Amino acid sequence: MPLPPVSRRQFLATSGALLASSRVPAWAEIFQEGPKEDARRAEAAEAALARATALGASYADIRVNRYRRESIATRERQVQNVSRSTSYGLGLRVLVDGAWGFAATNRVEPAAAREAADQAVAIARANARLATRKVVLANAEKAVTTWTSAFKRDPFEVPLDTKIQFLMKLNEAALAVPGVSFVSSQVLFVDEQKYFASTEGSRITQRLVRTYPQFSTTAADRASGDFQTRPVVDRAQLIGYEYVEDYPWLADAEKAGHEVVEKLKSKPVAPGRYDIVVDPTQLFLAIHESVGHSTELDRALGFEANMAGTSFLKPPDAGKLRFGSNIVNLVGDRTQPGGLATTGFDDEGVRSERWHLVRDGRFVDWQTTRELAPLVGQQRSHGCLHADDWSSVPFPRMPNVSLEPAPAEITLEDLFSGIKRGLYIVGRGSSSIDQQRYNFQFGGAVIREIRDGKLGPMVRDAAYQSRTPDFWASCDGLGGPATYRLWGTSADGKGEPGQVNAVSHGCPPARFRNVTVLNTAAV
């Protein structure tokens, strides 16, 4: 007998009920930690370093890392997925005859660590026969210490039902807005526990806890088949469960509901030249793509082109090239509170710091590692080495890259003033940038007209287009310290095989003059 047809609504209701009744194992069942594990970790690390040194390595370092992750996804009034995972293992780098070798294992014990050292040294010797240059490392201070990111409430100790109820309330806040058709939400928690040891004597223990909430609302006109979405994403921070409790997520969800309903009824933008004010929720993406990737030294040197291409910047440009207007100051920062790329030390034991990439509109410095710094005449790394797992080869990754606010208390309304015909761009939309991080266009989630210094109605299908130096040169206004916001993404890809990095970008709203705006629906 054929089964009766099942509607999509019935399927979602049934799958949600099944998931709710399924047993999710407690963390204690899949995650072990304690003094005994710490001792075994240290014993394995010492065995690996001793073996690598005995085999002729001039330098070696090891990362013994444990990761745990929890993700909860919902849609409307249903739980769609709950996942928990852990990973534990070690990765060993060795330098032999000026070339790198790497090996990893999920067996954290002395015998397996020595086997990894044997393999890493063999790979390094093979690489040395093919290398065209010898690796030289910048100096790094020996460090024996512990560092933990700031958090008040460990999200992995919060009951699963409490987290689900948060997402359900968030969904209800958006669905309560007349005209909202769908809403989806997700929260991800990540806990990294990292141990670093090197033949130079560093022994560093670190723990980093990150919280990633996000959601999206949709309004649909069933008669015409048109629909619009308002995603609220890229708000992850290096913080604990207090982020869920303290930030006004329900108010944001209700606001997003009203915005998506208005967006569905809004008119398309008229293409042309506009003065634009870009909100931190959108400007963070422009910073990431046009500044963050272009100032990665490995891309500028042609060592790396995967995922984001190379760079229009070249090594001789540092200290000379005009990158933006005089008010533009951009920093690399591995110390920024809440930043996703913030840490005490990078993955080769370099203490984190803050430095200028662009000062007073001039490009002045790069993102570097111990290997890259000497290639541009620097004596010390800026601490940008990272691997996304114990089994991954560490390589240069982006720090938090942020735009400094104006020193005076300039408000958003101050930035609107003086604009006769402009746009205010909020949130992430469509984006595109070339393989040298030079030509780009970025859309927004919510875009409003600015008329005679006042905020006007919403428009849709708009994206601003420019070239990196031209765009930043057109910046003539920045919000003050009170307008500064820090947003971040958990999925910055790079490398082959690909790795994912978490990174934040802080900025105030900023005003840019005479920028080309496209109607993306007409392109």
User: CA distances (Å), 352 to each of 378, 380, 381, in order?
Assistant: 16, 12, 10
Give the per-residue pLDDT at 21.
43
Q: In the numeric block, which tokens belong to residue 517? A: 């705006």
Helix (H, G, I), strand (E, B) or coil at 353: coil
Beta bridge partners of 273: 516
Give the per-residue pLDDT at 35.
79
Give the per-residue pLDDT at 223.
85
Give the per-residue pLDDT at 38.
86
Phi, psi of 193 (to 5 degrees): -120, 115
What is the Cα 478 distance to its own chain's centre? 23
Q: pLDDT tens digits for the chain (523 residues)?
A: 333 343 444 434 444 444 444 556 665 555 556 778 889 999 999 999 999 999 999 999 999 999 999 999 999 999 999 999 999 999 999 999 999 999 999 999 999 999 999 999 999 999 999 999 999 999 999 999 999 999 999 999 999 999 999 999 999 999 999 999 999 999 999 999 999 999 999 999 999 999 999 999 999 998 888 999 999 999 999 999 999 999 999 999 999 999 999 999 999 999 999 999 999 999 999 999 999 999 999 999 999 998 889 999 999 999 999 999 999 999 999 999 999 999 999 999 999 999 999 999 999 999 999 999 999 999 999 999 999 999 999 999 999 999 999 999 999 999 999 899 999 999 999 899 999 999 999 999 999 999 999 999 999 999 999 999 999 999 999 999 999 999 999 889 999 999 999 999 999 999 999 999 999 987 5
Contact in structure between 131 and 100 (CB atoms under 8 Å)? no
159, exposed or middle or buried, with CB in 10 Å at 0-12, 13-18, 19+? exposed
Give the per-residue pLDDT at 19.
46
- Please name which of 474, 493, 460, 433 lies closest in space to residue 286, comparing C-alpha atoms: 433
Place of tokens 């370092």: 61
Residue 63, CB half-sphere, CA atoms under 13 Å: how many?
29
- Assign residue 388 a region: left if phi > 0, alpha if psi is -120 to 50, beta otherwise? alpha
Contact in structure between 511 and 400 (CB atoms under 8 Å)? no
Listing DSSP states for 133-147 in one string gives S---PPB----EEEE
pTM as predicted: 0.92
What is the Cα 64 distance to its own chain's centre? 23
- Please name which of 492, 494, 441, 436 lies closest in space to residue 464, comparing C-alpha atoms: 441
| Cα–Cα distance measured from residue 58 to residue 189, given in angstroms and rounded to the nearest whole number | 38
Give the per-residue pLDDT at 24.
63
Give the per-residue pLDDT at 33.
63
Contact in structure between 297 and 214 (CB atoms under 8 Å)? no
Give the per-residue pLDDT at 28.
57
Structural domains in the chain, sorted by start: 27-265 (3.30.2290.10), 267-519 (no CATH)
- Please name which of 302, 260, 307, 255 lies closest in space to residue 433, comparing C-alpha atoms: 307
